[in-house]
A and B are shown apart, each in its own frame.
Chain A
Amino acid sequence: MSKAQFIIEKNENPSVGWRLLLPILSLLGTFILTSGLILWGKANPLEAYYYFLIAPLSSRFSLLEVLVSSTPLILTGVAVTFAFSAGYYNIGAEGQLYAGAIAAAGLGLIVGKLPMPLAVTVMLVGGFLAGMAWAWLPAWLKVKWAVDEVVTTLLLNSVMAYIVSALLNGPWRNPESGWPQSPEIAPSAHLPKLVAHSRLNLGFLIAVLAVIVLWFVLTRTPFGLKMRAVGLGKPAARFAGIDVERTMLISALVSGGIAGIAGVCEIAGIQYHLTDAISAGYGYTGIIIATLGALNAWGVGAAALFFGVIDTGAQTVSRSLGVPVYLGEVTQATMLLVTLAMFLLQHYRIRRRTSWTSS
């Protein structure tokens, strides 16, 4: 007896239509999954999604806010992509961001006498070096002793949190208010505003530059090709004479440096002093963004901008509808998981077949 049966088979090259449909389906899936939570928060999901995704793009002010909130996400997304491309799983962008922030908060106090361009340059270079320094230990342990970088970078994030706490409760505690926050940095160390009366600052342009640099390095330089070779096939890269350890080490350090720049931009562009809350998990979100962007520079930029919309929108939803602001985090994580499932689905198609007989 023969009967029809549906089977799933591999489809190596998904059609263009599928690829275009993918983001839309991901968004739809995310919407369906999160609307239960929104209903629980006694709000209308459609209304919530209006505030979430449409409202941030509908006024000049909120549009600028989107760019502001995507700045650290672009930078950490680029940072993580740098490392992941070379097969180095840097989960420590969060700690490296804080390393850059500490450097900025410290340097910002002593560069007051310098003219603005010079002061800002010192801040950026300092933050880059600080992020790099904090990334060095796990990277060195990885290439020298084969110690798993995932675990060490994660652990160092916690250590960095204690360093920040020690600084804020020790030398940098505000003597008058007693608040754990560092003294305000000198005005000449502030990143210049791009638009008056907004929070948008030079940091955004630096983030855009980081995306361009990432694209250029990955696709146009021999080092980028080496990075990708190492990331996609270590044994083959080693066989072809590429110094795998050196390539990973450099990528890891650059990754840390860029994450450090993200910290500088938050201090010098927005907060002007260090607190223990300058990052809302940007280092971890950077991993989601790098994944959603498929380790492609433009994809990373686009994903980060989109997440900026969600972050801004979550504030609006919270203000307007009283839904907790953490809806933003939940939505981002849900979107990652839904998209991962979709990525997979596009590589399969369901086909009908006639099966062999059953007894």
Chain B
Amino acid sequence: MDNIIEMQAITKRFGPVIANREVNFSLRQGEVHALLGENGAGKTTLMRILYGLYHPDEGMIFVRQQAVRIHSPKDAIALGIGMVTQHFALVPTLSVAENVVLGFTGSFRLRYAEIEEQVAAAALRFGIDIDPSAIVGNLSVGQRQRVEILKALYRNAKVLILDEPTAVLTPQEVDALFETLRRLQKEGLSVVFITHKLDEVMAITDRVTVLRDGQVIETVETAHTSPSALARMMVGRETFGVSRRSSMEAGAPALQMVGLHALDDQNMPALKNINLTVRHGEILGIAGVGGNGQRELAETLSGVRPPTAGRILVGEHDVTGGSPADFTAAGVGRIPSDRHKGVVGELSVAENLTLERLMEFTKGMTLDRAAMLAYAEDLIAQFQIKARPTDPIRTLSGGNMQKVLLARVLARNPKVVIAPQPTRGLDIGATDYVREQLLAQRKRGAGVLLISEDLDEILALSDRIAVIYEGEIVGLLPAQEATAEQLGLMMAGAVKEEVNDV
């Protein structure tokens, strides 16, 4: 079979970090090829090189046996390569048709009727169901992904790169995506499928290339391998993960949400009548597909987003409408959902660690720098953070940054821990560390609210699991009784039940 793409001995460095080390990768005409690896294994970097977004330091690329240099996405598109990135490259204020033709109109003057017709025709041809005149900002995540795929196909892509396409989809939307891919494959499209999920690899791909630490471990035929073999290649050890070891007797209510409502940034309802209780000594997991109100829930419980109705109780203490400082004072340990928005990059580790409680580090009217540094030294040792107290925090790795945020919160033995997406983007070691810390908090008797889009994480850690869908809690069940299928249906909004856990 012919190789449509061949990448030979690709090396890419970012400063001292080697993201790809002499990577060889080939894509056959008409195959679906998985690029499998943990976060940070170098999958996305390799494909960004193929799409012209990065330039390799060494190595060669062949497209249809021709050596090529891909300087920019423009070159890649001309070679018939299309990419759907994890963060969609769409302009929310423009229509579907405008997004699809952007940079590919062929004439200076835009005739909207013609454009929409052409886009509609293309959508029909490729079997993608989408309204060309809809404004992208109003579409669901699954619909936006279809726009992205249509955009690539409209540019005559013969090779389609999909970067973690299922991360934001419900199991049902994933099925629809796979169906589309199979149909396109029959028409001769070649697909690179970046993922870290083994079941998807088994379900849709013909071959798999496994990357670890920027290097290719092996390329195998999917039919000739197994999930456990792939897992071994991917992580380099047989078992992994941390999970809840024992069930514990849950205690008194630590955090109660009573009839909680809140709006999102566009002033649309984001949380609708949330009634939940997190008890001392339990982890309550909130499962759901991204964008269903998780961020708003975490922000409301952190005091940065005021609820429009309802009450928040910490123990007996009503903190509704309080400031972030009030929540901290009431004993709520708040981990930010977006690490980079939770730390001030230019400030030092010590300054970030003490930012929530500067009053304790003030002598007279001046800051007690010595005390701040000593405190930071302590936590750095205790939480095994690889940094010095005076390092600007932006220089830390994601894992160490997350440890700083954990240390800031957990050092105070909070009564409640709010942990939204605590392991997103972390490597395996850091992920295990964070999960162990959350379990330790549970053991200590804190109530932990774990909000995660990673269903495996929810299943591994939670005592009870609530499912959020379009801002509502549509299900609540003990972890022992939960299955991935059942949760998937709830996450897709197919099953709803009234939940009142107060």
Contacts and interface: CB of A to CB of B under 8 A. Distances in A.
A and B touch in the complex (CB under 8 A): yes
Contacts of B69: 356-359
A354 B325 contact: no
B344 A356 contact: no
A237 B362 CA distance: 18
B343 A226 contact: no
Interface string A283-319: 0000000000000000000000000000000000000
Interface stretch (A127-135, A154-162, A239-247, A328-336): A239-247
A12 B57 CA distance: 19
Contact of B343 (A7, A12, A236): A236
B57 A353 contact: yes
Interface string A44-66: 00000000000000000000000
A310 to B, nearest CB: 30
Contacts of B67: 357-359
A236 B353 CA distance: 12
A225 B58 contact: no
B121 interface: no
Interface string B55-73: 1111111000011110000
A239 B334 contact: yes
Contact of B358 (A220, A222, A238, A353): A222
Contact of A225 (B341, B367, B395): B367
A237 B60 CA distance: 46
A225 B345 contact: no
Given A222-B358, A241-B324, A241-B356, A233 B345 contact: yes
Contacts of B359: 222
A10 B395 CA distance: 14
A221 interface: yes
Contacts of B334: 239
A358 to B, nearest CB: 5
Select the residue from A9, A10, A353, A356 with max chain B CB neighbours within 10 A: A356
Contacts of A241: 303, 323-325, 327-328, 356
B377 to A, nearest CB: 18
B336 interface: yes
Nearest to A351: B57
A36 interface: no
A9 B54 CA distance: 12
Contact of B341 (A10, A221, A226, A239): A239
B494 interface: no
B346 interface: yes
B398 to A, nearest CB: 15
B68 A359 contact: yes
A35 B395 CA distance: 42
B365 interface: yes
Given A222-B362, A356-B61, A356-B69, A239 B345 contact: no
A228 interface: yes
Contacts of B358: 222, 225-226
Contact of B347 (A222, A232, A239, A354): A232
Contacts of A359: 66-69
A91 B25 CA distance: 54
A221 B367 contact: yes
A222 B60 contact: no
A208 B367 CA distance: 23
Given A356-B59, A356-B60, A357-B67, A236 B336 contact: yes
A281 interface: no
Interface string B324-339: 1101100000101010
A322 interface: no
B304 interface: yes
Nearest to B327: A241
Given A242-B355, A353-B57, A356-B59, A236 B342 contact: yes
A233 B328 contact: no
A222 B15 contact: no
Interface in A226-276: 226, 228-229, 232-233, 235-243
A217 to B, nearest CB: 10
A225 B348 CA distance: 11
A25 B341 CA distance: 36
Count class of interface residues, chain A: 20 to 34
B320 interface: no
Interface string B377-397: 000000000000000000100
Interface in B15-65: 15, 55-61
B15 A12 contact: yes
Nearest to B369: A220
A221 B365 contact: yes
A221 B323 contact: no
Contact of A229 (B328, B336, B344): B344
Given A225-B351, A225-B367, A356 B56 contact: yes
A233 B343 contact: yes
B302 interface: yes
Given A239-B302, A358-B69, A232 B345 contact: yes
B366 interface: yes
A340 to B, nearest CB: 18
Contacts of A358: 67, 69
Nearest to A238: B304
Contacts of A354: 58
Contacts of A238: 304, 324
B11 to A, nearest CB: 10
A242 B355 CA distance: 8
A239 B61 contact: no
A242 B58 CA distance: 47
Nearest to B324: A241
A10 B342 CA distance: 25
B361 interface: yes
A229 B67 CA distance: 50
Interface in A1-50: 7, 9-10, 12
Contact of B60 (A225, A233, A243, A357): A357
Contacts of B362: 222
A241 B303 CA distance: 8
Contact of A240 (B55, B59, B346, B355): B355
A356 B10 CA distance: 9
Contacts of B323: 241, 243
Contacts of B60: 356-357
Contacts of B355: 225, 229, 236-237, 240, 242
A233 B341 contact: yes
A1 B347 CA distance: 47
Interface of A: 7, 9-10, 12, 220-222, 225-226, 228-229, 232-233, 235-243, 353-354, 356-359
Given A222-B362, A242-B325, 20 more contacts: A9-B15, A12-B395, A220-B366, A220-B367, A222-B361, A225-B367, A229-B355, A232-B344, A232-B345, A233-B341, A233-B343, A233-B346, A236-B355, A238-B324, A239-B341, A240-B356, A241-B303, A241-B325, A356-B58, A359-B68
12 contacts: A9-B15, A225-B367, A233-B343, A233-B347, A238-B304, A238-B324, A240-B324, A240-B355, A242-B325, A359-B66, A359-B68, A359-B69
Q: Which 5 A-B pairs have the closest CB atoms?
A: A241-B325, A233-B344, A241-B324, A235-B341, A240-B355
